[in-house]
Structures are given as C-alpha cells and as structure tokens.
Amino acid sequence: MALQLFAQEKVLPPTPRRLREARRRGEVARSQDLLAALSLLAAALAAGVLVPAAATALGRTAAQFWSTPPTRDWTVADVAALLRQAALGGLRAAAPLALVAWGVVLVAGAAQAGLVFTSVPLAPRLDRLDPIAGLRRLWSRRALVELLKALLKVAFVGAVLVRGVLAARAELLSALGAPPAAALLEAAAWARRLFLWGAGAYLAVAVLDYAYQRWEHQRSLRMSVQEWKQDQKETEGDPLLRQRLRQRQRQLVRQRMLHEVPRADVVVTNPTRYAVALRYDPATMAAPVVVAKGRNALAARIRALAEEHGVPIMEEPPLARALYQAVEVGQEIPEEFYVAVAEVLAFVWRLRGYAAPVAGPRELGGDGAWQGR
C-alpha cells in the first residue's frame, strides 16, 4: 500500500517532454507583475527625457491662455477646440511613453519564457462554466497566494509612495506660488521622482513574484513515478518492444556472421567454449580477417557449420581465446597475432595441398610478438 501511494505521489521533476507539452499549451513561468513593473520603470525613465519638453510647451500654452484677455464670449465650439488641442498635446506627450512601455513588455516577456505562440488557451473549456469548480478555484491555495501577493504589493508600494509625498511637501508648497510654467516643471519633476520610487518598489515585489512563478510552474508539472514511466515509454518506446528489437538485431547480426563461416579458411577453437573463424585472401586482404566468432552454444554452431562445409577446425585454446577477446567480427587481426595465425594457415594450406601465398601472414608480421602458443 505504501509503495502504491508513493507511486501516485508527484515527487519527480518534469521531464523535457512534459515541459515541451506545457509550453505548447501556453503554460510557461511568467510574471505579469514583472512585465508591468518593467514597463512602468521604463516609462518613468523615458519621461525624464520626453516630459520636460512637453511640460514646457503646455506651460507656455497655459500662460498664454490665462494672460490673454478674451475678445469675445466663449462658445461651445471654442471650448471644444481648446479641449481638442489639449488632448492632441497630451497624446503627443504620452505616445512615446506608451511605445517604450510596450517595447519593454515584449522584450521582458520574451526574456522570461521566450516567444510562445499558441491558440490552446483561447479554446473554449466547459469546465470553466462549472460553478463548483469555480468555487474550488476561489478557495484554492493559488487564490490565497494571489491575495497575499496583492496585499503585499499594495502595502509596500503604498508605503514607498506615501514616504515620497511626505518628503516632498516643502517642494509642493513652494511650487504653488511659482509662475505657471515653473510650477508645471516642478510638479512634473516631482511626479517623475515619485513614479520612479513606486516603479522601483513594484519591481522589487515583481522579482519575488517571478521567482515564485518559476517555482510554482515546476511544482505544478511534477510527476508521479507512474507518470514518469509512462512518459519514458511514450518518449523512447515500450521497453519490451525495444528489447525485442535489440534481440532481432542481434539475431540478424548472428545470421550474417554464420553465413560467412562456409567461406572461412579455418576455425580456431578452445575447443568447446570458443570458436573463431578466419579468412585470408592475399589478393584483397592485408591480413587475415575474423569473419565469425562465438562462445558456448554459438561456438558449437560455428563448429557444426564448419564441419558441414568442410572448413578445417584447429584446436588452439590460447589463440582462440585471445582472438575472441581482442578482435571484432569483420576486423583484421592485430600484428601480434600474425605469427601464430600464419602457422595455422600454413598448416591448413599444406593439408589441402595449396601453395603458401607469396605475402602470407608470417611475412606481413615478421617476428610477431604473439606468445600464446
């Protein structure tokens, strides 16, 4: 029972495949507070360059308006034109700030989780219409955490803003008696400082929120042991199927190897545990080649095929064991085996009445280092 409960408990980190599937659904670690804080901070910094000029122009317009006596009574059209002019001026001043904030949001969003394009979150979901599920979400742990984060943001940012207002009381009072243009410049500078303080405080809270979002994202994707096994099965295939494929591959390799035994010149045996089939063609080979090898049952099969096709079998236990361990199928024998193998091949050729080749293994290896005989 304990093992079953452990298998169902989600204690394992998400696999790359699970992370990719979550990303395809649009589920990534992203903090909206961090995006908002960075956009506000960028807008506040950009305002230091853009707002003074706009404030100067607005102050000049206001001074001109209040200092010029009216030549006639105001009409509705005059008021509408004045409001329209003021709105256009405000848009001209706010448009660059909006563009800067929008650009920062795009860059910050891509930096958090990369560019994610998916329509899965836009698809209708009937479970969202379930009132019971809605109540569960309302009283869930996530909802409680979001409430605590909201209270923390309001308390911390509000405290910073209140402190900034109290620190600038003297400046604000002195600006009331200044000319309109100077008062507007002073108010704009104070508002920018206050905005920077608030954006900085918001950014500090947003960084903590981003760390929490990353942790929560990983926690929500954690897997149970059974889910991990199923993921591995879907990623790499069924283990039983992979085992069967490997067995089939080994069988094919063994069959191809056994097909080469009838073409061998000699089979060197242990005599029962090891069998190594050698072939040497002086016209096409620089040295003898191992065309087949095996242990126990496979060695017996190689010996049986050799007897069936009239391939000579030589009992050379040290040589057979050394060749089996040192040379793979299809490879030429190393130089240290030249002398020993040359003696075996020379003996076989004498039995068959063949003349030894001009460049046999002995000549290839000279005084080889093989001392196994």
Residue with the bigger pLDDT between 125 and 139: it is 139
Residues 156 and 202 in one domain: yes
Range of the domain at 247: 223-254
Residues 187 and 146 in one domain: yes
CB 29 within 8 A of CB 214: yes
204-211 average pLDDT score? 88
Three-state DSSP at 278 gives: strand
pLDDT above 60 (res 150): yes
Report yes or no on 204 lying in a domain.
Answer: yes
- Helix, strand, coil percentages for the chain (3-state, nearest 5): 70, 5, 25
pLDDT above 60 (res 368): no
Residues 31 and 176 in one domain: yes
Report yes or no on 279 lying in a domain.
Answer: yes
φ, ψ for residue 78, nearest 5 deg: -65, -45
pLDDT above 90 (res 183): no
Where among 208, 232, 254 does a domain terminate? 254
Residue with the bigger pLDDT between 358 and 305: it is 305
Report yes or no on 30 lying in a domain.
Answer: yes
Report yes or no on 235 lying in a domain.
Answer: yes
Report yes or no on 76 lying in a domain.
Answer: no
Gyration radius (Cα) of the chain, Å: 43
Residues 52 and 155 in one domain: yes
How many separate domains does the chain show? Answer: 3
Residues 234 and 286 in one domain: no
Residues 153 and 101 in one domain: yes
Residues 197 and 244 in one domain: no
Query: Among all chains, which residue has been given the structure tokens 């056994």?
Result: 258
Q: For position 81, what pLDDT does the model report? A: 74
Helix axes 141-167, 131-138, angle to 10 degrees: 50
Residue 4 CA: distances (Å) to CA of 8, 9, 230, 263 = 6, 9, 16, 58
Q: For position 274, what pLDDT does the model report? A: 92
pLDDT above 70 (res 175): no
- Element holding 289 (H helix, E strand): strand 289-295
Q: Which pTM does this prediction carry?
A: 0.49
Report yes or no on 20 lying in a domain.
Answer: no
Residues 160 and 294 in one domain: no
Query: Which residues neighbour 290 within 8 Å (Cβ) at sequence distance 6 or greater?
Result: 276, 277, 278, 323, 327, 328, 329, 330, 331, 333
Report yes or no on 164 lying in a domain.
Answer: yes
Report yes or no on 120 lying in a domain.
Answer: no
Residues 247 and 264 in one domain: no
Going across the sheet that includes 289-295, the strands are 289-295, 274-279, 266-269, 313-315
Q: For position 142, what pLDDT does the model report? A: 76
How many helices (H) and strands (E) are present in the chain, helices listed first? 14, 4
CATH code for the domain of 350: 3.40.1690.10
Residues 242 and 298 in one domain: no
Share of the chain above pLDDT 70, in %: 70
- Structure-token pair, residue 178: 């200044």
Residues 195 and 248 in one domain: no
Render pLDDT for 43-88 as a digit per residue (tens, 0 to 9). Answer: 777 776 666 666 666 666 666 555 555 555 667 776 677 677 767 7
CB 368 within 8 A of CB 340: yes
Residues 93 and 216 in one domain: yes
